[in-house]
Amino acid sequence: LNDCAIRLPSEDKWLEFKKHCRKERVPFVVYADLECALEKMDKEPASSTYTYQHHNVFSIGYYVYCSYDDSLSGYRFRRDNNCISWFADELKNLAHSVQSVISTNVPMDFTQDDWRKFNNATHCHVCEKPFAKDDTRARDHCHLTGRYRGPAHSNCNLNYKDSRCIPVVFHNLTGYDAHFIIKEIATAYEGHVDLLPITKEKYISFTKHVDDTIDDKKNCIQLRFIDSYRFLASSLDKLLSFLSKDKLRVLRREFSHLSEENFNLLTRKGTFPYEYIDCSEKLNESSLPPRESFYSSLTDGMVSKSDYAHAVNVCQRTVAIEDSLNIKNRCHVNSKRIVTNFFLKFAERIVLFKSTAKN
């Protein structure tokens, strides 16, 4: 071992960033969250260990964020026992919509000022390297909006393409959500799945290829499931506590018809009796469960009196909220309000994080 020598690469060998198309924001991102009913299991008398709870998904919601056109952003929600199948179908429909969008080429909006800047440019805006005298310059523009982006080398322009990947973001995908969705995503429609595994049961990421969106160049839309916890390693409660009301642009847009008072009610952190909801039928109850039902065996604690009073206040104000959320019972008010508030603010947090990181 002592006779080994270290051989360094030659001085002209440098590792450099070359995938310049990664500098552009992906056109569409999905932020998703699901909720489970915690079905109680009977203890096996002959066993020292037993299954305490079985988690059954009863609701899922997702927000599509479009980076260049807010009118294409939107939120959808489903609450029933088939919500995972519905979610898989929604993603397939989204893949087809995105395929249609990115297949278009909006004509370039090129002004006299753009002409002047183009003629005077000395560097490619893509690779940021200078133009040689014999280089062919191209006017690079966004095919989705027609916006002129800058002068570019011909090859840089050809390779600066819009992403065909749709990130689908869950917080703690690896440790929780992936277990409920991956089988349905893998089998609901044609297309193979690429895995980036930690173990046989845990995945850092997985990508579903939607085969029936393949274009003439044999490219298809990809649904790439990623875990935001790997970028923002903290609980969402803590992350969302950093958001001030003026940062809640996504949530405010989705509920623009609410009064300021009702909007404040919607955005305050709520509470939910997770262990009490051991089946989805309990969400149809017409009254709020007693405070004792909000006990958590995980923390061995009860909901505070002030938080329970807030839940009561929400239930007493259901008439105003029902008009916007189309709901008919009080427990469902808390269910939908918490899911909506939780993951729309989650989307706000990630969008803000991406903007800060990019800048």
Distance of CA 292 to the CA centre of its chain: 34
CA dihedral (239, 240, 242, 243) in degrees, to 10, reads 140
CA distances from 277 to 53, 181, 288, 335 (A): 12, 21, 12, 10
pLDDT for residue 355: 57
Interval 19-52: pLDDT, tens? 888 888 899 999 998 988 888 888 777 777 778 8
Alpha carbon distance 81, 164 (integer Å)? 31
CB atoms within 10 A of CB 48: 5
Confidence label for 353 from pLDDT (cuts 50, 70 and 90): low
Q: What is the pLDDT of residues 76-85, one digit of tens each?
A: 888 888 999 9
Q: What is the pLDDT of residues 188-211, one digit of tens each?
A: 999 999 999 999 999 999 999 999
**223-244 mean pLDDT:** 82
Distance (Å, rounded) from C-alpha 57 to C-alpha 305? 29
Res 321: pLDDT: 53
pLDDT in tens, 154-190: 999 998 988 899 999 998 999 999 999 999 999 999 9
**How do residues 128-144 score in pLDDT, each as one tens digit?**
999 998 888 999 999 99
pLDDT digits (tens, 9 = 90+) for 89-125: 999 999 999 999 998 899 999 999 999 999 999 999 9
pTM: 0.84
Q: What percent of the chain has pLDDT over 70?
A: 87
Structural domains in the chain, CATH included, are: 25-103+164-233 (3.30.420), 112-159 (no CATH), 236-353 (no CATH)
Q: What percent of the chain lies above the pLDDT cut of 90? A: 39
Express each pLDDT in 254-277 by its tens digit. 777 777 887 777 777 777 888 888
Residues 302-349: tens digit of each pLDDT: 989 998 888 888 777 754 555 554 544 444 444 444 445 444 555 555
Rounded alpha-carbon distances, angstroms, from residue 165 to 139, 220, 222, 342: 25, 9, 5, 25
